[in-house]
Structure 1
Amino acid sequence: MLGFDAVRGVAALAVVLLHACVPYLQNPMPGLAWSVRDSASRSVDWLFWGIEVFIMPLFLVLAGYFAWQTLSCRGIGPLVRSRAKRLLVPLAFAVCVVLPMDLYTWVLGWVVEGIVEPVKLKSLKFDGAVDRDLWGLSHLWFLQYVFLYVVVAAVVARFDTLRNLTTKIAERLPLAVTLLAAAGVVTLMVAPEVVWGFQHAFLPVASKWVYSGTFFAAGMLVSKVDPRLAFFETRIKPLAIASVMLLVTAVSLGRWNLQYGESALAQSGLAVVTVLAAYAVTFLTIAVSRKINHLSLPLQYLAAASFWIYLVHHPILGLVHLDLKQWMPATAPAVKMAAAFCISVGLSLLTYEGLVRRTRLGRMLGMQWTPSSPPVDVLPMRRESVVTETEIATESVPQRRAA
């Protein structure tokens, strides 16, 4: 499944690109606090919201796909234990190391911007919107959510009644897909800020947890009904057409909604096209990835480093954005966005190479890798072993062990 390695690497870059856009948005994401605000760009705004619509649904569908593979091949215990190791250990590391860096980077930016007093760097006491939007797991929420979905899946699998019910629903594929999409649409109608805003907290937010869970469940459904993904592989062209049309419509309507206020009709339409666009782009990405049968060494390296990039890029971007505003105030926003993206990816890769790839820290986090390791597709393993070694939900993927 080399294609999923490619998706993992490229999608990690898409997450960094998404965050690189934040200071330059025409329509800032409600509830999202950032280290600095800079001059706005229409093109950057389009890029940001285009990625935002589908990037986390993509990861969630693939996380669900591989969770079902592990559950069906190895059982409940191995599923929970493997995800606890691969998700909770990196989450604990990031909470202890990355989030404090995030916190002081953001406060430093606000001090430089004149939003808060320098004394706040010591007291960390804030009022109003600053305090409301500052505290939470930040970009690490995905790790927590996926592990909780795994626990729910394990509980359902443990009880025969629930397992039989979900099996019957899954066998009726059109009904199952309709129910999941409808649940996502209803959730967005009630709480559009799930996608068109940011819900920041240390514990799961109900609306965000439900919406994200529909995509995780869809991944499990796809894995059960079509484990080889043959359905999507033969439908690349219609998926591509649908993806472009739905994504453009979703971003256009979403930007309009952010600019001119909410209406019940616009909010309902936005919910529908957002969910459909997320599914279309996700399934298109899966279909294209199935065509990949060779990865260059740089792309293998990027895939191996993707989890680390996800963990550490956030505070790096915050500092780079602040520096670019101070040193290059007249530079075009799109240029600064591109510079922030390149610098943060470069520094993340340098730290991966120096601190993680061949170190004890890398072994503890499951992120060690050497190019001498053969691709998992050619290893003489049982099917379930291959699956668990190529899991793709970025944060839940075990990297190849060092030789």
Structure 2
Amino acid sequence: MTYSIDENRFHSLDAVRACALLGGILLHAIMNYMPGYREYNWPWSDNSTNAGLGILYFVIHLFRMSSFFLIAGFFARLLHQRLGTKGLIKNRLRRIGLPLIAFYFVVMPLGFLSFIWVTQKLGTSGTGGTAKMELPPVIGPFVPWGHLWFLYLLLVIYVLVLAARATVVSFDSEGTLRSTVSRLLDSAFRLRIAPLLLGAPIALSLYLSPWWVQWQGIPSPIIGLVPNFPGLLAYGAAFLVGWFLHREQENLRVLALDWHLYAVGAVAGTAVALYVIGIKPTLGIVELNNVDRAVYAGAYLFAQWCVMFAVIGLAVRYLRVASGRWRYLADASYWMYLMHAPIIFLLQTWMLHWPLHWSVKLSMILAITSVLLLTSYHYLVRTTFMGVFLSGRKYPRLSGN
């Protein structure tokens, strides 16, 4: 059985990218209803919590941003093939660099406003927690990126990948080295050992990082101009795998055939990781002996690559045909993710002391956030200059799109 790939638009990968970004909205919405954060003075921690939400958070966090960077690498090479190096740089500066600057000065002040509001509601007592929240080490100036860190890291990775490519091309003009890497990755997919080979060096870097907050997985570089090494390695590796997947697109079909095997691997790896670390979310370092620390790091990275390949394979198999709804969500997801955080935090603050079950408040937050984001996208972005600013095009107001 074969699976056709649309050369004009990769609908399946658009769907994966949309799921990764929209999954982040769900992730941030459930954070204050998880047990374990209150003791670390997470200001939005609610009195009504549910342990199952912690597991959901763990699973979403496991794959969403790594999948996003893999898809980004795939489309980066596609753009490079169409536009060349200079064209790619100009395109990425317009679609990534300028939105980072523009939204930073809109989103961050709104987020800070929600923080001021929630601290006023809590008074001077905080949430009653005494434990210390751990963050990756900051190298260089203190720059808080918040949830926009992924845009900054993307720019860093673009620079590093294009510089590395230019260096390789300078002494390997025939493409021998690149072809060798492609063949090695192709063999790893066909032998089904790619999660082990790709996960091992990242797991080692995390194991050797004494500041690693294990339950949170890959440490996001949310602060500073120099990304932490494990985060750069993990997301950079995902980007490069996406780049080479575009070079060898037959591997998308291989993933479509093997998605169920990777799904089993993802479940097994996640189960082992949660067994070692526990299901209670934490913002601090968990004291583990060397063996448990190594097992957890290995299981987490194995599960991460497996779930990425399972999701991509599943999408290639079942979402390869154009769908108006998925196309719309794929187009809207960028705007929705950029703008969602302050809305969610403000709603969480507003509902903080409401005597309602967590499920009611979470449902209200997700419903209100979704309506606001989709409505604002449809009327303020999709058919206006903002559509061009974010995605390079705007849709006619009466086209039915």
1:106 aligns with 2:128: no
Identify the match of residue 201 of structure 1 among 223, 231, 239: 223
The residue number in structure 1 matching 2:309 is 283
One-letter amino acid of the counterpart of residue 166, structure 2: R
TM superposition shift of 1:208: 1.7
Partner deviation per Cα, 1:29-78 (whole Å, 9 max, x = no partner): 998x8551112210111111111111111111111122223334543222
Q: 1:254 to 1:30 in 2, by over 3 A?
A: farther
Matched with 1:355 is: 380
1:66 aligned partner: 75
Asked if the contact 2:335/2:390 (under 8 Å) is kept, the reply is no
Distance 1:202 1:356, change over 3 A: farther
Q: Spell out the pairing of 1:120-159 with structure 2 (5 A cutoff).
A: 136-159=144-167
- Residues of 1 paired with 2:321 and 2:166: CA distance? 39
In structure 2, list runs of 5 or more residues that go unmatched: 1-9, 127-131
Counterpart amino acid of residue 210 in structure 1: L
Q: C-alpha separation between the residues in 2 aligned to 1:66 and 1:102?
A: 31
Kindly report which structure 2 residues correspond to 1:363-374, keeping only aligned pairs within 5 A, or say none.
363-366=388-391, 368-370=393-395
1:188 equivalent in structure 2: 206
Alpha carbons of 1:263 and 1:228: their partners in 2 closer, same or farther (altered >3 Å)? closer
The alpha carbon displacement at 1:150 in A equals 1.4
Structure 1 residue aligned with 2:60, among 20, 32, 51?
51
Quick one: which of 227, 230, 255 aligns to 2:278? 255
CA distance in 1, matches of 2:221, 2:36: 17
Aligned in 2, Cα 1:19/1:147: closer, same or farther, shift over 3 Å?
same
Written as runs of structure 1 = structure 2, the 5 A alignment for 1:230-269 is 230-255=253-278, 261-269=287-295
Measure the CA separation in 1 of the matches of 2:229 and 2:381. Answer: 35
Distance in 2 (CA, whole Å) between partners of 1:115 and 1:334 is 28
1:161 equivalent among 145, 155, 171:
171
Contact persistence 1:356–1:367 (CA under 8 A)? no
2:238 maps to which residue?
215
| Aligned-partner residue type, residue 201 of structure 1 | I
Question: For 1:26, what is the secondary structure of its paired residue?
Answer: coil
Indicate the SS of the match to 2:383: coil
| Structure 1, unaligned runs of 5 or more | 118-127, 375-401
Write the mapping of 1:287-326 to structure 2, written as runs, cut at 5 A.
Answer: 287-290=313-316, 291-326=318-353
Q: In 1, distance between residues paired with 2:89 and 2:398?
A: 26
Question: Partners in 2 of 1:287 and 1:101 — Cα distance?
Answer: 38
**Deviations along 1:154-182, whole A, 9 cap, x unmatched?**
11221223775454334323579565322
Change (3 A) 1:264 1:337: farther
Structure 2 distance, partners of 1:216, 1:20, is 27
- Tell me how far apart the structure 2 counterparts of residues 256 and 292 of structure 1 sit (CA, whole Å): 32
Point out the more displaced range, 308-317 or 192-201. Answer: 192-201
**SS at structure 1 position matched to 2:351:** helix
C-alpha distance in structure 1 between counterparts of 2:21 and 2:166, whole Å:
33
* Structure 1 vs Structure 2 CA RMSD: 3.3
Aligned length: 363
Identity %, equivalent residues? 23
Give how far 1:298 is off. 3.5
* Contact residue 246 and residue 277 of structure 1 kept, 8 A: yes
Q: Using the alignment, how far apart are the partners of 2:377 and 2:295 within structure 1?
A: 43
Partners of 1:332 and 1:97 lie apart in 2 by 32
Matched residues in 2 for 1:129 and 1:270: separation?
21
In the alignment, the residues of structure 1 paired with residue 330 and residue 394 of structure 2 have an alpha-carbon distance, to the nearest angstrom, of: 10
Q: Residue in 2 aligned with 1:343?
A: 368
What is the alpha-carbon distance in structure 2 between the residues aligned to residue 73 and residue 361 of structure 1? Answer: 24
Shift of 1:324: 1.8
